[in-house]
Structure 1
């Protein structure tokens, strides 16, 4: 699957899931800032789109952003993924770093469509599974993920260490 391909799984009527394009960067940055605020995290510095775009669209990048578009063409959410390597299994997997839908886009099937696209991406890249995390206070996300067939939570604490 390349960056121009459309997602083939079921999406709510009139909506679609597609890969991000360079012209989507300003809207993607808006959604990321909304997501950061929703998760009560510290604001990110200005210039996010300018820093992210070159990495996302670099030749050979193993970083993908899938966008959820409403029937009117509004980009209403995203899933950001990268290929990672699991030492315990000695195999690569798809890491979904972020999944976010604007508040008005929730409850219409776009989250399930994004997760379907993430699963398709993993399968098409020959990756055996997808991993992600969500804050333990985000009960809505936890209920959503718990409804995914075969998905299961793993208790771990995530650390960040500025160096």
Structure 2
């Protein structure tokens, strides 16, 4: 028998769907208009700025960016064409590193002010510190719930691996 959502659950679900569809679209629009990059492209480059040598194995970068290796690979190929990233083989191991170039680092630096203005305007300007802490707590709880469902096979296409757990490194070692 189908267990329908009660009115409060339905309202919460529709609010979550609106947030998860409208916020990425708004960020894409803002970033493309101001800097010529998508939100995901910026995220990938920003993640690389946080790594030693601005490099990270593709599988680990995909994990950190919450993306499939295929999606990440397509974006890294585009970033390579633009001169903002390059791939390097990993000696003695399968896979490759994505490496942010100096031009890519400058692109992140140039894009960051507009990106942060958009994040603040679209999310944080409407929240005080207590609400921001609640958002962190609720977001982490929902991500854990999502990961638990994916591990059980809910919402994951057949043949696709489950998300990594804390005791399972992204490179499979």
TM range (shorter): under 0.3
Which structure shows the bigger proportion of residues in strand conformation?
1
Which protein, 1 or 2, shows the higher relative CO under an 8 Å CA cutoff with sep ≥ 6?
1
**What is the TM-score of this pair, normalised by structure 1?**
0.26
**What is the TM-score of this pair, normalised by structure 2?**
0.25
Larger Rg: 2
